[in-house]
Amino acid sequence: MFKPEHIGIAVKDLSISVPLFEKLLNSQCYKTETVESEAVKTAFFKTGDTKIELVQSNTEDGVIARFIERKGEGMHHIAFEVADIEAEMARLQAEGFVMLNEKPKIGADNKLVCFLHPKGTNGVLVELCQEIKELKIVENYLKG
């Protein structure tokens, strides 16, 4: 079962966007984090049961930087929490969806993540995420 987890918004500069979203959402940013696997910095806000993730590229040629160059700042992805990310990836691939990565990666906010190609989801980049509950899981994914 999919549960909305967060909405990702691509931004050029967290130092400008964080204060803007704090005013907009009337909520303080509760966490910032660098995600090496995606070459991004993130900032998280909580609004109701859902989170908003601001995503800034760490490199000039990173995925987020290229997205902003093509489309400008704005909605980048929607993430859904799943209980078993590998089972959902297999199910979705069997249904004909294309994954952007072959296996889950360690992402922000203590999650394993993978993305579905937006060409198969009406142009929406969809992220699946599963909370990392055991150190063993992290060690397995770091081994590759």
Structure tokens at 65: 């930087």
Contact 115, 140 (CB under 8 A): no
8-state DSSP, 95 = T
Structure tokens at 141: 């994914």
The closest alpha carbon to 107, from 87, 82, 128, 86, belongs to 128
Per-residue pLDDT of the chain (144 residues; tens, 9 = 90+): 789 999 999 999 999 999 999 999 999 999 999 999 899 999 999 998 889 999 999 999 999 999 999 999 999 999 999 999 999 999 999 999 999 999 999 999 999 999 999 999 999 999 999 999 865 555 555 555
For the full predicted model, state whether its pTM sits above 0.75.
yes
